[in-house]
Structures are given as C-alpha cells and as structure tokens.
C-alpha cells in the first residue's frame, strides 16, 4: 500500500519514460514495450522449455546476463535464433519473421527475474538524474559499501556493472524500495546453527540433501554437513529496504544511475 502511494506520487512528477536507456554496450537500441511484450510470448512458445523462466537453465548460456558467447550484436542473436546451433537442441526456426526475431531479442535484452512486470509498471517509474544518482550511490546512500561497479563492494553482493542492460527501471526501483519482494536464485542468504549454538550466515551457493555450501560473511567458501547442524535455512536478504529512507527524488536518481550502467567491461 505504501509502495502504491509512493508510485502514485512518482507518477505525479511527470517524468520522461524510458524502458531502457540507449547507450554503448551489448544493447543497441531502446526497445518498444510492444516488442518486448510480443517477445515475451515468443520466448514462452519457443525458448522457455529449455532456457527456463529466468533464462539461466542451460549451463553456459544465461540469457538474462546480457552477454552471449556466440553473439554480440542484435543481428548475431537473431541469426542464432533463426539458424539454430548444430548438434544441440537449438533447432533452426525459419518460420520466425524478422519482426518476431527483433521482438525476441528485445525481450532477451530486457529479461527480468521472473518476467513479471508489465509495460504499465514501467510507465509508473520515474527516472531522475544519473549524475546525482552516482553521487548518492558512492556517497550518502552508501550503496557502494556492498555493491561494486566493475570492482569494489563485496563478493557477497552483486556487482552492478552492466545492470542497466539486464534490468528494467521497474525492477531496479523495486529492488531499492522493497528488496525482499523478489530475491533471485543466486542471491539467497542462508543461516546455519551448529549444535553448540554457533551460527554462520552467508550467501547460498549450493545445497543437497546432506550438505550446504555458503560464502560466509568473511567472504570465505564454507560447507556444512546437515547432520552436524541444529537448524538451517534461507533467511531474508540483508539488503535494507529504502522505502522510508530515501526520498522519491533520490530513488529516481539512483534508478537513472543504475540504468546508465550498460557497459560491462572485462574485469
């Protein structure tokens, strides 16, 4: 409810709307909401079965990452989708029109966790001043104590280089205001309590029936046998909610800064 009100307040500010800002990097264009929406349908019909909801079900091909091993340009991507990859499940799809391929690429380039937001959601996001957003990020909002941008931050929290190519304005805004709303696989935190009562928390890396693997708060890789534990399980993300902390303007500026992070440089 509070979020709703906040979004209404943002709407009142009559900001310029952009789905994704254009700029250097993997993404070559802004994509029309109708193309993205059409692409979502085509993705569901052609791709989701193997690549999964989040585009990361095929090892070595995380479609949501914005980086593609075999393609850099949109044309490359379209050629792969149309021609397939021999000796894999990726068959040729000659029936897809140029428009279909363009829509699919638009969706891939803007793929979100869960893919739940709509064009309407996007229309309600205000995008502010990226320069001021950067000042906040590294300054008073203190995002950079956890998140790096091409380095910096910690290993426990995602480096945000390139995030502007991978997330929509709506998802970025939601991640700031209400980070518990959507926690992606790979960003889940986990806590184990040993039988002597000592606890260890960290990022969940992997688990099976008998063990669990974490990066602990000291950024070390640790593994526990479940039989040695009193209790264990997922805990809420340590990222604070900034709904009542930052002003609407601050949030809009941060969103603008994050959207500008479209260039992903090699580390």
* Radius of gyration of the chain measured on its C-alpha atoms: 20
Our CB check for other proteins shows the closer of 69 and 210 to be: 210
Nearest approach in angstroms of CB 54 to other proteins is 9
Q: Where are the beta strands (DSSP E) in the chain?
A: 189-194, 199-207, 211-216, 221-225, 229-235
**Closest distance to other proteins from the beta carbon of 57 (Å):** 5
Min dist. Cβ of residue 204 to other proteins (A): 5
Q: Which is nearer to other proteins, 4 or 209 (CB)?
A: 209
The smaller minimum CB distance to other proteins, of residues 45 and 123, is found at 45
Q: In what order do the strands lie in the sheet with 229-235?
A: 221-225, 211-216, 199-207, 189-194, 229-235
In the complex, the residues that contact other proteins under the rule CB under 8 A are 41, 44-50, 52-53, 56-59, 86-89, 91, 93, 95, 185-186, 188, 204-210, 234
Q: Are strands 199-207 and 189-194 parallel, antiparallel or unpaired?
A: antiparallel
Nearest-approach distance from CB 58 to other proteins, in angstroms = 6
CB nearer to other proteins: give 41 or 238. 41
Tokens of 138: 């590294």
Q: Is 216 buried (19+), middle (13-18) or exposed (0-12) by CB count in 10 A?
A: middle
What minimum distance in Å lies between the beta carbon of 230 and other proteins? 18
For other proteins, give the closer residue by CB, 30 or 207: 207
Packed helices 169-177 and 248-260: angle between N→C axes, nearest 10 degrees? 130
C-alpha 30/C-alpha 53 separation (Å) is 23
């Amino acid at each position: 409810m509070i979020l709703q009100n906040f979004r209404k307040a943002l709407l009142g500010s009559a900001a310029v709307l952009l789905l994704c800002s254009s700029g250097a990097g993997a993404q070559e264009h802004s994509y029309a909401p109708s193309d993205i929406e059409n692409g979502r349908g085509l993705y569901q019909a052609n791709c989701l079965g193997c690549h999964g909801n989040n585009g990361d079900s095929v090892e070595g091909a995380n479609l949501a990452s914005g980086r593609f091993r075999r393609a850099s340009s949109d044309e490359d991507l379209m050629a792969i989708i149309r021609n397939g990859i021999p000796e894999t499940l990726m068959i040729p799809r000659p029936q897809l029109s140029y428009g279909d391929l363009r829509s699919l690429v638009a969706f891939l380039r803007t793929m979100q966790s869960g893919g739940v937001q709509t064009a309407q959601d996007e229309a309600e996001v205000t995008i502010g001043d990226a320069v001021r957003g950067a000042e906040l990020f590294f300054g008073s909002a203190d995002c950079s104590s956890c998140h790096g941008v091409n380095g910096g931050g910690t290993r426990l929290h995602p480096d945000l280089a390139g995030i502007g190519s991978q997330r929509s304005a709506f998802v970025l805004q939601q991640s700031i205001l209400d980070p518990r709303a959507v926690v992606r696989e790979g960003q889940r935190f986990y806590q184990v309590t040993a039988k002597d009562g000592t606890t260890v928390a960290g990022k969940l890396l992997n688990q099976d029936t008998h063990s669990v693997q974490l990066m602990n708060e000291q950024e070390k890789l640790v593994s526990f046998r479940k039989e040695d534990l009193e209790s264990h399980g997922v805990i809420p993300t340590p990222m604070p909610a900034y709904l009542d902390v930052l002003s609407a303007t601050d949030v809009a500026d941060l969103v603008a800064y994050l959207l500008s992070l479209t260039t992903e440089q090699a580390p």
